[in-house]
Amino acid sequence: MTGSQKSRNFNSPPLTLVVGGARSGKSGLAERLVRESGRPRRYIATAEAWDGEMRDRIARHRADRGADWITVEAPLDLPVALSAVTPNEAVLIDCATLWLTNHLLAEHDLDAETARLLAALETCPAPVTVVSNEVGWGIVPENALARRFRDAQGRLNQRIAAQAGLVIGVMAGLPMVLKGERPTWL
108 given a catalytic annotation? no
Phi and psi torsions of 136, nearest 5°: -95, 5
Residues 157 and 135 sit within 8 Å (Cβ to Cβ):
no
Spatial CA neighbour of 132 closest among 36, 60, 61, 26: 26
| Catalytically annotated residue among 8, 61, 150, 155 | 61
Distance CA 171, CA 152 (A): 21
Q: Are 111 and 159 in contact (CB under 8 A)?
A: no
Identity of residue 164: A
List residues with catalytic annotation: 61
